[in-house]
Each structure stands twice: as C-alpha cells, then as structure tokens.
Amino acid sequence: MKTLLKQTLTVSVLSSMLIGTAFAAPTEAPPAFIKRVADGLITRLKTDHAKLQNNPAAVKAIVRQNLDPYIDSQSFTRIVMGTYATNQNSTAAQRAQFENNFRETLIENYGSAFAKYTNQSYSIRPYKETGSKNPVVTLDFTNNGEKIPVAFQLTDKGDQWKIRNINVSGIDLGLQFRNQFAATVKRNGGNLDKAIANFKPDADAAVNKK
C-alpha cells in the first residue's frame, strides 16, 4: 500500500510540474497557494474516481484543468536537462522538444495512477517565512497510517507563484530525473536529439532511490 501511495503521489505531483502557466499572485501565502492546488486536485480525483479507471482522456483533462495553471515548466526542464539546458549545449528547439516529450511521456505512462487515488488525506506542516525567493511548503499525505512527505518548491514568476521542483520522501525528483537523462545521453553516444527522443523518465525508480 505504501508503494502504491508513493507511486500515485509521485505521478500526481510530477505531472503537475510539467506543463502550463500560473496566475496565483505572490500576495497569496505559499501554504494557502499549495492548499488551494491540492484541494482542487483531490476533490476532482475523488469525485471522478470511477470515471478515471477506464478513461485516460479524463485523467489528462483533470491534470490540465487542475494543475497546469500553477507550474513553471521551463524551470523544471532546466533542472532535468542540467548542463544540456544551456545555449552552448542545446538549441531552443531541442529544449522545447525535450519539455514536450518529457511531459507527454509522464502523462501517458503514469496517468493511470490517478485512477487509484481514493481516500488519501493530507496535512500541511507549519510554515516559516524565511524571505527566500524559493519558499518550500511541505504536505504530509496519509493513507492507512502511512505518511508520505511531499515538499513543493515555489518561485515568484512576475507577480505569481509557480511550482518549480518537488521532493518526495527526501528524494529530489528534479535531480533524480537529471541523472536519468544524463544516462540516456550517454547511452545514445552523446547524440542529444536521440537522447531527447528516447528519454523515458522512471518515476518509480526516482522515488524509491533510497
């Protein structure tokens, strides 16, 4: 059950990082912003639980409607591509292709995990204002007594909050996917175009790194 919960939560938050723009003003406190996003997603997952099990299109619709507006996809792409995200090591077209492929692969391969989400609950850890430009809000998701901490790192992008990275159970997902992509580049002999086309992020391997 714990493994299933980790997989479901990882897929949920990863998918949320991949696409879209945000419109939440930074005058909204970081915990309130994250609570609003989480509550919106959980409500839809519970309401549409039966529909999601046999309807991949409905899963995608929930992701796009409830998560896309709050994500800094460009920052996440830079984190995962690492040194390959610079102008010296890739073109703008390659970075755009990577972002699109990465997003679609995660949605296609792991979208079914949303259908398994039923009665999980969460609590927000006490938040301390540090003045950082990248505040972190941590939620503890609970299922049958098991707690999975999920920490959201935010960024202020022109008068609005966006999610730029996430940590699940102490695992920095952005850095784990960076390692996976670097390994893919190596397997493809340093050919970046082939690596982008062949990159298959493994959420299970990332979150179970410990």
Query: What pLDDT, in 10s, does the model give residues 66-106?
Result: 777 788 888 888 999 999 999 999 999 999 999 988 877 76
pLDDT tens column, 114-160: 656 666 788 999 998 888 889 999 999 887 778 889 899 999 877 78
Per DSSP, the three-state class of 158 is coil
Mean pLDDT of 189-205: 90
Q: Domain 2-207 belongs to what architecture?
A: Roll (3.10)
Residue 65 DSSP one-character state: H
What is the pLDDT at residue 59? Answer: 78
CA 8 to chain centroid, in Å, comes to 12
Give the relative orientation of helices 173-187 and 73-81 as an angle to the nearest 10 degrees. Answer: 50
Top-confidence range, 19-28, 50-59, 140-149, 165-174: 165-174
d(CA 135, CA 206): 23
Any idea of the CA torsion for 43, 207, 18, 98, to the nearest 10 degrees?
-160
- The neighbouring-strand residues paired with 138 are 151
